[in-house]
Amino acid sequence: MSYDNNPETQINLSDNTPILVAVAWPYVNGDIHVGHIAGCFLSADIFARYNRLKGRPVLMVSGSDCHGTPITVAADKEKVTPQEIVDKYHPKVLNLIKTLEIEYELYTKTTTENHYKITQDLFVALAKNGYISKKVTPQYYSEKDNKFLPDRYVEGTCPFCGFEDSRSDQCDKCSSVIEEGKLIKPRSKNTGSPVEFKDTEHYFLDLDKFQLELENFVENKSYWREWVLAETKGWLKRGLYERSITRDLDWGIPIPTDRLPDELKLDGAENKRFYVWFDAVIGYLSASVEWSDMHKDNDGNLPKPWLDWKHYWYNEDARHYYFMGKDNLFFHTISWPAMLIGSDKNKQLPFYPAINNFLNLEGDKFSKSRGVVLYPEYVVENYGIDSLRYYLAKVMPENQDADWIWKDFVAANNNELVANFGNFVFRVLSFYKAHPELDPTKHILFAVDNTVQQEIKETFYEVGRLIEECKLAEALQRIMKLSSFGNKYFNDNEPWKVIKTSEMAASEAIYNCLTIIDNLRILLHPILPSAMNKLTRMLDYTDLIVPEVEINKWEYKPWNHEQKIEEFIEPLFKKFDEKEVLEKEKK
RNA sequence: CGCGGGGUAGAGCAGUGGCAGCUCGUCAGGCUCAUAACCUGAAGGUCGUUGGUUCGAAUCCAACCCCCGCAACCA
């Protein structure tokens, strides 16, 4: 029986479809909070883990975005170099990923030699194909520092309300938008010295030249989330225009002007670097190449075809899923596709942008400066990885902004994770443990009930479909329905009563329940890998769940009659005391 | 008229022309294997407002009211 086609959408993935899971690159300035996790890390991980269980070749890549003003601002603040910021925070992100059990094929960073080279190559290709132009624009320039300053390094007096510490683009006090050049007495935020406008020449990506091709690109994307499609079409409708891709900075990737045609050469290019969004999206490609290189043997060969990055990028059967927060939409549905089309028409374009809205904290926007922040490490340490992953998967902001509410967090843990699923597993295993005479091998070997089998098969099919459409919250709900079904099955069959008159009937009921549990173990693995590994041990499997390419483990399997379960059984999850938690989190 | 999203049961959401649904909570009953967990049943909604189209509107159209996001560090 094949469940691979999904007739309702254009998402038809086969058993060997190569899947690229591209996760947005976080700025490496040290403040990854639960919003980031709900935004893209967790959904990407669940999606990737599912596809690996399906036996598909999966390449999940991301890395630390080391360039851009957020990094230089952090460096100024801590009075160190940008490189030191990177060296300090990149390992922290690696650590966090490990803590959260987010499993990448490769999590790298944008300061690698490989990334520099691929970014420069792609830029040169765009230039040779006629998509790069140069243009003179006025920018803030500090005579004293002898350099151009990005907008966010400039402040001055608001022309509307006279507020003296206004930002250069919008006044903090009266919220008026300040047009370029209207700010009174502009000065450097760092040194306080006056700045003025000075002409500077920059490279631009001519997005307008991609208008038609991008319109064609979104034409048949009816399976995208409705609001993602609407927003993308909104950009296209308003018309695209050139966007600058270089800055007057000394931190970032240098411009390879020596490789450009003469008419594109530019004075002072050695003082310019690529604008961060330009190089960051290229990371998906460069990380893929880096990962592939890591698997080469001494002769430079790859042992398996799916270890080759080209298996994902130059394969029209491959599917590219991108995971990010909504502020990244434009760069992934417009700029990046344009850059791919403009540099090399044979590369795969994004197939599905899984763009999440924002997670707020008890109704407030995450804001480090206002103290509205919650760190995943804290939640893991105090409440455990499974409760965190379960709750975030449940409230994932797929269609609108959502909230982290402590009261709901406790309720989801206690009433769903513990009471429904955890309790089902524990009541079955402990009952079985207390009655060794129910060992299935001691009775006629029974098959799994048709209704049970049917229910499990349907769950695999429906959950798989939902995950492929990136409807993860709904997928989780569907899995919990199977757990409820298990509880009901146990109740209806009353093994604790039946055992007094018929050991065989009780044994058969337990055998069916073990089958349900064993399949839930696979179904929940993408969402709760840690708990499912624990369950795997309790069920006395010799190996943890390890996905293998070309082997489909995402399917119904009856319980093995011979299999014994572990001596020591304990509940998978802990209940929380609502009062205590609310007190502790002061709400 | 900057762009976009939303207003459906106490809470969170699904439902895009055909008998108002799901999860949680609440109440009542059952069960006692299980972490006071599980099972059954019930209560609870004039679907933001007003008008229109239609045999029929939560759903389509028009106007209006109210929330929120992006354009500012931030997924």
A98, A72 contact by CB (below 8 A): no
Closest alpha carbon to A530 in A382, A375, A389, A413:
A389
Closest alpha carbon to A273 in A150, A125, A126, A189:
A150
Q: How far is the CA of A482 from the C1' of B21 (A)?
A: 19
> Is residue A17's beta carbon less than 7 angstroms from any atom in nucleic acid strand B?
no
Separation CA A285–CA A237 (nearest Å)? 29
The single-letter DSSP state of residue A1 is -
Global pTM reads: 0.93
- Strand B contacts in A 237-266 (CB under 7 A): 238
pLDDT of residue A240: 85
| Residue with nearest Cα to nucleotide B32 C1' | A496
Which positions of chain B lie under 7 Å from any protein Cβ?
Answer: 3-6, 11-14, 16, 22-25, 30-35, 37-40, 68-75
Q: How far is the CA of A117 from the C1' of B28 (A)?
A: 71
> Is residue A356's beta carbon less than 7 angstroms from any atom in nucleic acid strand B?
yes
Q: How far is the CA of A63 from the C1' of B8 (A)?
A: 42
> Is residue A475's beta carbon less than 7 angstroms from any atom in nucleic acid strand B?
no
3-state secondary structure A448-500: CCHHHHHHHHHHHHHHHHHHHCCCHHHHHHHHHHHHHHHHHHHHHHCHHHHCC
> Is residue A484's beta carbon less than 7 angstroms from any atom in nucleic acid strand B?
yes
Strand, helix or coil at A192?
A: coil
What stretches of A27-153 adopt beta strand conformation (E)?
A: 58-64, 106-109, 132-142, 147-148
> Is residue A64's beta carbon less than 7 angstroms from any atom in nucleic acid strand B?
no
**Tokens describing residue A181:** 């050049």
Q: How far is the CA of A333 from the C1' of B51 (A)?
A: 40
Q: C1' nearest to CA of A70: which nucleotide?
A: B73
Q: How far is the CA of A223 from the C1' of B18 (A)?
A: 26
> Is residue A575's beta carbon less than 7 angstroms from any atom in nucleic acid strand B?
yes
Beta-ladder partners of A157 = A184
> Is residue A150's beta carbon less than 7 angstroms from any atom in nucleic acid strand B?
no
Q: C1' nearest to CA of A474: which nucleotide?
A: B14
pLDDT of residue A173: 58
User: What string of pLDDT tens digits covers the 587 residues of chain A?
Assistant: 223 334 345 678 888 999 999 999 988 887 788 888 988 899 999 999 999 999 999 999 999 999 988 888 888 888 899 999 999 999 999 999 999 999 999 999 999 999 999 999 999 999 999 999 988 877 788 777 777 777 767 777 776 666 677 666 665 555 555 666 667 788 877 777 788 888 888 899 999 899 889 988 888 887 888 788 888 887 888 788 888 898 888 889 999 999 999 999 888 888 889 988 899 999 999 999 999 999 999 999 999 999 999 999 999 999 999 998 888 888 899 999 999 999 999 999 999 999 888 888 887 778 776 777 889 999 999 999 999 999 999 988 888 888 888 988 999 999 999 999 999 999 999 999 999 999 999 988 889 999 999 999 999 999 998 899 888 988 999 999 999 999 999 999 999 999 999 999 999 999 999 999 999 999 999 999 999 999 999 998 988 999 999 999 999 999 999 999 998 899 999 999 999 998 888 75
| Residue with nearest Cα to nucleotide B11 C1' | A408
> Is residue A295's beta carbon less than 7 angstroms from any atom in nucleic acid strand B?
no
DSSP A217-269: HHHT-TTS-HHHHHHHHHHHHH----EE-EES-SSSPBP-GGGS-GGG--TTG
ipTM comes to 0.90
Element (H, E) at A82: helix A82-99
- Strand B contacts in A 412-431 (CB under 7 A): 414-416, 418-420, 422-423, 426-427, 430-431
pLDDT of residue A179: 62
Separation CA A366–CA A362 (nearest Å)? 10
Planar angle of CA A9, A13, A16, nearest 5 degrees: 175
Q: How far is the CA of A505 from the C1' of B19 (A)?
A: 41
Q: C1' nearest to CA of A230: which nucleotide?
A: B4
pLDDT of residue A247: 86
> Is residue A97's beta carbon less than 7 angstroms from any atom in nucleic acid strand B?
no
> Is residue A488's beta carbon less than 7 angstroms from any atom in nucleic acid strand B?
yes
| Residue with nearest Cα to nucleotide B40 C1' | A488
| Residue with nearest Cα to nucleotide B3 C1' | A234
Q: C1' nearest to CA of A26: which nucleotide?
A: B75
Separation CA A92–CA A113 (nearest Å)? 21
pLDDT of residue A6: 41
Separation CA A545–CA A525 (nearest Å)? 8
Q: C1' nearest to CA of A496: which nucleotide?
A: B33
> Is residue A374's beta carbon less than 7 angstroms from any atom in nucleic acid strand B?
no
> Is residue A12's beta carbon less than 7 angstroms from any atom in nucleic acid strand B?
no
> Is residue A454's beta carbon less than 7 angstroms from any atom in nucleic acid strand B?
no
Q: How far is the CA of A36 from the C1' of B11 (A)?
A: 25
Q: Where are the alpha helices (DSSP H) in A494-562?
A: 495-498, 503-523, 529-538
State the amino acid at position A71 in one-letter form.
I
Q: C1' nearest to CA of A422: which nucleotide?
A: B35
- Strand B contacts in A 217-236 (CB under 7 A): 226-227, 230-231, 234
Q: How far is the CA of A227 from the C1' of B51 (A)?
A: 28
> Is residue A574's beta carbon less than 7 angstroms from any atom in nucleic acid strand B?
yes
State the amino acid at position A465 in one-letter form.
R
